[in-house]
């Protein structure tokens, strides 16, 4: 899978996407991440990418030309499954969407900044708009990193243990059960006996029961869906 991320602040993406599982996926050749600095696509000598909004409202708006130039160039090179714009007024990201997108071949993620992007970019290129939650970030970069991470870890072969993404919270509309590691006892807190019993059918039942109890207590809305 190839993910092209377009941003005015590439530095904000380098660290979140340069470590851990995403790095492993890149090293294994399972994902190609290409970060594009919007300033490289500026159409004037000042590397300008933003301008004041029409109508006299406050803040700055990302201009259409650099974004169009970058996306058009990418679209000429290959076909894209989706061209996604990160925005608080998009559809809220969930695990089902991440699952679906992990099967795509090529996507573009556009991170906005300042007051937003010229509305005409949406009409011209954007096929999907995603929010990572009902709060406003300073830019779409952290959202783009969240979206990329949620997708990349689901690409087949990325996680060593193939079952481990399947047991994540939300994967079957249930929160994940509690997990423990050594020592078996710490400051009087003990690991549940069943997990140390070696009886795997019993352990499996216990884990399912705990997932259900936790979901009922914390996110009953998931069970209604
Ligand atoms: N850009 C600013 N706020 C955002 C949010 N909540 N989700 C995605 N992109 C954003």
Same fold for the pair 2-152 and 169-224:
no
Nearest CA to ligand 1 atom 5: 88
Can you tell me the distance from the alpha carbon of 136 to that of 147, in angstroms, rounded to the nearest whole number? Answer: 16
Cα 214 to chain centroid distance, Å, stands at 24
CA of 196 to the centre of ligand 1 (A): 43
CATH of 169-224, one of 1.10.357.10, 3.40.50.300, 1.10.1270.20, 3.40.50.12780: 1.10.1270.20
CA of 98 to the centre of ligand 1 (A): 16
Eight-state DSSP code of residue 112: P
**Third-level CATH fold of 2-152:** Alpha/beta knot (3.40.1280)
User: pLDDT by residue (tens digit) across 65-121?
Assistant: 999 999 999 999 999 999 999 999 999 999 999 999 999 999 999 999 878 999 999
Nearest CA to ligand 1 atom 7: 131
Closest by alpha carbon to 33, among 61, 67, 10? Answer: 10
User: pLDDT by residue (tens digit) across 107-144?
Assistant: 999 999 878 999 999 999 999 999 999 999 999 999 99
Binding-site residues, ligand 1, Cβ < 6 A: 86-88, 112, 131-133, 135-137, 140, 143
Sheet holding 32-37, edge to edge: 32-37, 2-7, 106-111, 82-92, 128-131
Can you tell me the distance from the alpha carbon of 21 to that of 70, in angstroms, rounded to the nearest whole number? Answer: 28
Nearest CA to ligand 1 atom 2: 137
Nearest CA to ligand 1 atom 4: 88
Domain boundaries, the chain: 2-152, 169-224
Q: Is the pTM of this model over 0.85?
A: yes
């Amino acid at each position: 899978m190839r993910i092209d991320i377009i941003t005015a602040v590439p530095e904000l993406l380098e660290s979140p996407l340069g470590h851990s599982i995403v790095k492993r996926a890149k090293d294994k050749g399972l994902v190609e991440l290409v970060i594009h600095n919007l300033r490289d696509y500026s159409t004037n000598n000042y590397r300008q990418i933003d301008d004041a909004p029409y109508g006299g409202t406050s803040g700055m708006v990302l201009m259409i030309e650099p974004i169009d130039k970058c996306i058009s160039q990418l679209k000429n090179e290959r076909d894209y499954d989706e061209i996604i714009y990160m925005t608080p007024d998009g559809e809220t990201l969930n695990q089902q969407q991440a699952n679906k997108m992990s099967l795509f071949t090529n996507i573009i993620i556009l991170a906005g900044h300042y007051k937003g992007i010229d509305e005409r970019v949406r009409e011209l290129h954007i096929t999907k708009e995603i929010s990572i939650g009902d709060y406003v970030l300073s830019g779409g970069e952290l959202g783009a990193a969240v979206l990329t991470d949620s997708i990349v870890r689901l690409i087949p072969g990325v996680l060593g243990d193939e079952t481990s993404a399947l047991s994540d919270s939300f994967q079957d509309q249930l929160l994940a059960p509690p997990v423990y590691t050594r020592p078996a006892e710490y400051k009087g807190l003990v690991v549940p006996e069943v997990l140390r019993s070696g009886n795997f059918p019993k352990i499996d039942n216990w884990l399912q029961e705990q997932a259900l109890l936790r979901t009922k207590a914390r996110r009953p809305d998931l069970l209604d869906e």
